[in-house]
Structure 1
Amino acid sequence: MKIANSNILISVIIPVYNVENFIEETIESVLLQSLKNIEIILVDDGSIDKSLMICEQFSQKDSRIKLLRQKNSGVSNARNNGLELAEGEYIFFMDSDDTIDSEFLKSSYEVAKTGNFDIVIIGEYCCSWLPNVTALPTWAQLLKHDFLIKHSDVRFPANIQPCEDGLFSHQLLALTKRIGTNPAGVYHYRMHENQNHKINNDSVDKVLLKIPKWFEILDDFYKRNNLYYSHSLHLAFFMEHEPFQLRYLSMPLNEEQKKYLHPIIKTFVLKNILPFLISADEKKLSTSFTYFINSKDSVQFDGFYRRLKLKYKIRLFLVRFIPVSKIRKKMREQVRNEIKLNVF
């Protein structure tokens, strides 16, 4: 990894793979930033469409653009290889099908410098996750280059997708308290048919088979840094959000897939988290996740979860019969907050 160049304030690293319909707009949104002392590192991951040609054209027009070509080896390797070339004081990883507002980098950099932060959380939505931020999408974090150099063992895990960004950010968040926020940063996330989360939902078995590897990475990290006692709640929130909420509850799992995933999550939590978690912190976990960990199997949990959702559905229905508008509004908000905390 190169030492940061004081003349380059931010390195924007963009992995590129078969995005000929989007990459031009993505690059242009970075070139139009009000902050000009930046570099753009495009890492082509073996594209077979016109993406590489488009990237080459841009790199010939602007000296701030570096182009790296690699054989197809995945988004994690592309980001890691881009980081090796980076010279900026701060690092921003961007997806190749999205765009950013013209003040995005400048406002984030100003926050980072004002507080000398290792991580700046960007965007109103992700900033609202505080104080329990357990993982971040790549586009929601500006990272201090020296911080990444110091923790060179934390990188995007190869051959892991989805959750490569979650594992990467989760580890970094555990290694510093110097975390700032820039809710004013506006990132334009593009929705289209070829997005990873849609592909992942169509490849459920492949995703599930990767999850034990997630847990190996986490266990190694927590043991290596002696963090189980001090950061068990941080890890518990990650388990609640990533494998439980985003995979078990949100992916289209059949009964066999649920029977496979339930004991994997439960065993890891019982072995690696609960022995270190104080009772006050246990109470911070959601009702549904707590029951999940204590349930005998997926069938028992699914029955409970259906009843829990029905209970809140009935409560919301009954709220509409409260005659006083002010009280009705307050009760509806209260029930919805409980649903957000316990049902997702």
Structure 2
Amino acid sequence: MTNPKISLILSAYNEEKFIKKAIESVINQTLKDIEIIIVNDGSTDDTLNIINSYGNSDSRIKVINQENIGLGASRNKGMKIASGEYITFLDGDDWFATDAFEISYKEAKSKNTDITMYQMINYDDESGRVYENDWFNLNNLDESFDNIVFSPEKTKNFLFDLSVSSCQKIYRNSFLKSINASFPEGIYFEDMPFFFHVYLKAKRISIIRKHLYYRRKHDASITHVVDANYLDTVEAGCELMRRFIDNGFYEDYKFDLIAYKINGPRMALMDIREDAKKPLFKLIKEDYEKIKKTKYYQDYLDNLGPKKKKFFLDILKYDNYTEFKKNNPEY
């Protein structure tokens, strides 16, 4: 038996409200030769029953039922058993356009790509409004990227402006295996380190200017509320830095990488709910104290712009959030 053309990995945690739409968008794809791996990540609502009802009636569906281990670890589990020629991901509250797999597989196959990216479109759950934004439209990739195969070198000047969403891409399975691609486990923002590692290792990339993925915005979305989950922005940044250093990308990208690493937690500290500001400050401070003891400290001093450098040095200077806030009221 030949391997399926695409393996779809869907991890769901308490998605009873949305999971039917997600699964139906996959089983009704115009491309039928697919494998559907659905991970129930310890849901406490009716999610598992809904998944099983589809699993029992469609032989392409493989169901993994497990204790809650988080999105990164669940996706890694799915990737280990995925047998498709290409792999893609879906979140339990989102859905694909009906011809998404056919279009993206044709593109990836004809251009022999490691990664093919497509546009995402936002759906507001409350109003039913569908709307675009530059980030998910891949507008940083101008028309010179249309209908070609390119390498990461071509996007070097704006690498950190690219959308990191793993659901926005189709990946060659053998490529992911050859580089031991994996999501960080136990933290939110797992897409970010995964994307940069995989993207910079790719040799052949292409884009599709079509909205193939619908991204639902609702009150429970992780990225919708800036709450304690955003404490993980520090660890995600550390993991990103480790991957750049371990894979030999650091020197080529350090100017933008350092700015990007500082900026995530900096913006989070500005926007995060009041009750999470002190714990976030503490995590940032611990991270910066560690950086100070490494050979990379001078790079931060040399490469950061004035605003980010002031933030970096002020975090090191003040013992606690209250003192820091007195001198930096915008946070």
Alignment TM-score, normalising by the size of structure 2: 0.74
Aligned length: 290
Structure 2 alignment gaps of length 5 or more: 121-134, 142-154, 319-323
Letter aligned with residue 87 of structure 1 = S
The answer to whether the Cα contact below 8 Å between 1:215 and 1:268 also exists between their aligned partners in 2 is no
Q: Deviations over 1:42-100 (max 9, x none)?
A: 11112222211111111121111111111221122211111111111111111011111
The equivalent residue for 2:185 is 158
Q: Deviations over 1:242-263 (max 9, x none)?
A: 3333x23332356635643554
Q: Distance in 2 between matches of 1:252 and 1:177?
A: 41
Aligned counterpart for 1:193 among listed residues 212, 215, 219: 219
**CA shift at 1:301, angstroms?**
7.6
The equivalent residue for 1:227 is 249
Sequence identity of aligned pairs in percent?
28
The equivalent residue for 2:12 is 16
Q: Distance in 2 between matches of 1:37 and 1:149?
A: 21
Aligned counterpart for 1:128 among listed residues 118, 136, 139: 139
Q: Distance in 2 between matches of 1:216 and 1:90?
A: 29
Q: Distance in 2 between matches of 1:59 and 1:69?
A: 12
Aligned counterpart for 2:26 among listed residues 21, 27, 30: 30
Secondary structure of the residue that 1:12 maps to in structure 2?
A: strand
Structure 1 alignment gaps of length 5 or more: 307-344
> Which one has more relative contact order, counting CA pairs under 8 Å at least 6 apart?
2
Aligned counterpart for 2:271 among listed residues 246, 250, 255: 250
The answer to whether the Cα contact below 8 Å between 1:174 and 1:234 also exists between their aligned partners in 2 is no
Please show how residues 86-101 of structure 1 align to structure 2 within 5 Å.
86-101=82-97
The equivalent residue for 1:140 is 168
Q: Which has the higher strand share?
A: 2
Q: Distance in 2 between matches of 1:88 and 1:149?
A: 12
**CA shift at 1:213, angstroms?**
3.4
Q: Distance in 2 between matches of 1:69 and 1:30?
A: 19
Letter aligned with residue 164 of structure 1 = E
Q: Distance in 1 between matches of 2:239 and 2:106?
A: 33
Larger Rg: 1
The answer to whether the Cα contact below 8 Å between 1:45 and 1:71 also exists between their aligned partners in 2 is yes
Name the Cα RMSD after superposition: 3.2
Aligned counterpart for 2:311 among listed residues 285, 288, 292: 292
**CA shift at 1:273, angstroms?**
5.8
The equivalent residue for 1:117 is 113
Alignment TM-score, normalising by the size of structure 1: 0.72
Letter aligned with residue 118 of structure 2 = I
